[in-house]
Amino acid sequence: MTTSYSWTLAVGFLVFGPVLGALLAGIDRRLTARMQSRRGPPLLQPVYDVLKLFEKDTLVVTRLQTLYLWGFLFFMVISGFILFLGSDLLLSLFALTVSGIFLCLAAYATNSPYSNIGSSRELMLMMAYEPMLIMVPLGFFLVADSFRVSDIVAGEPWQVLQLSGILIGFLFVLTIKLRKSPFDLSSSHHGHQELVKGITTDLSGSDLALVEIGHWYENTILLAWLYLFFAPLGVVWALPIALVLFFAEVLIDNTHARLTWTSTLKGTWSVTALFGVTNLMLLPLIA
């Protein structure tokens, strides 16, 4: 059950979640720059960006888009809060999904062709990765006999071996979740492309800042999901491993060209079936 410790963690997430997420984003940008033999921006660049966005005016196509973005941020925070409280992983996932839907709504509301394509593709990506993301709590349930994060953390150290297929599948969809190439279909990191900035094209000023903050929270949440696989090993092992795997996505980002949505969808579902479902099926034999 929830203890004062888990409440501390959850409240800590509310405050420091975005800070950690921003740092992850900063490291990401710097790593990318280094891989391209550039120096890259300061570590705190994502923070500067967001603080600047708050100084700017906000241009909207419709005022309601801001309301949808509030929904996006609210459910993102709730998702992380549930996760860090040590509560239900499946519920946390549902909240994460709702949050994604709200982001799409904001983009749909602006109704420019680029935002439309971006949000349609984002929904497509959600459809692609959702089954695999659901497999993760299911896998944990089968090894830890609970959807509760606190029980999963207290699980057996070899759960990551039992769930290795799920881990592979999760790493695959993590690339999509982080909007990394080859799956950056909905919103590219570099705006001067055919889909401009996709889902965020028509968001500006504080609206865009909200999206960025939401993504910081999301970074932290995803890192925490990754951490969960290794959590029983203890923080000394688990955190470095999770970080290394997290930043491995940057390497993939920089070495792959974008895929079409059909291949993304087919690929992701195949990986889900091949690694996710098979892993679950074989679990009784491994356990």
Q: Which two tokens stand for residue 203?
A: 């968001």
Q: Is 13 in the site for another protein (CB under 8 A)?
A: no
Count of residues of this chain found to bind another protein when the rule CB under 8 A is applied: 97
Of 60 and 153, CB closest to another protein: 60
Q: Which two tokens stand for residue 229?
A: 């696989």
Helices (H), 85-204: 89-110, 113-144, 149-153, 159-162, 164-177
Contact stretch for another protein (CB under 8 A) within 61-69, 165-173, 222-230, 246-254: 61-69
Q: Is 274 in the site for another protein (CB under 8 A)?
A: no
Q: Is 244 in the site for another protein (CB under 8 A)?
A: no
Q: Which of 4, 15, 36, 257 binds another protein (CB under 8 A)?
A: 36
Q: Which of 11, 14, 19, 59 binds another protein (CB under 8 A)?
A: 59
Q: Which of 76, 80, 110, 219 binds another protein (CB under 8 A)?
A: 110
Q: Is 204 in the site for another protein (CB under 8 A)?
A: yes
d(CA 236, CA 66): 41
Q: Is 186 in the site for another protein (CB under 8 A)?
A: no
Of 192 and 257, CB closest to another protein: 192
Q: Which of 9, 10, 23, 120 binds another protein (CB under 8 A)?
A: 120
Q: Is 265 in the site for another protein (CB under 8 A)?
A: yes
Q: Is 67 in the site for another protein (CB under 8 A)?
A: yes
Q: What are phi and psi of 104, to 5 degrees?
A: -60, -40
Q: Is 151 in the site for another protein (CB under 8 A)?
A: no
Give the 3-state secondary structure of residue 88: strand
Q: Is 211 in the site for another protein (CB under 8 A)?
A: no
Of 67 and 252, CB closest to another protein: 67
186's CB contacts (< 8 A; 6+ apart) are 118, 119, 121, 122, 124, 125, 179, 198, 199
d(CA 175, CA 280): 22
Q: Which of 9, 10, 24, 135 binds another protein (CB under 8 A)?
A: 135
Q: Which of 202, 218, 249, 253 binds another protein (CB under 8 A)?
A: 202
Q: Is 252 in the site for another protein (CB under 8 A)?
A: no
Which helix H or strand E contains 218, and what residues bound it?
A: helix 205-230
Q: What are phi and psi of 115, to 5 degrees?
A: -65, -40
Residue type, 184: D
Give the 3-state secondary structure of residue 56: coil
159's CB contacts (< 8 A; 6+ apart) are 140, 143, 144, 152, 229, 232
Q: Is 280 in the site for another protein (CB under 8 A)?
A: yes
Of 96 and 171, CB closest to another protein: 96
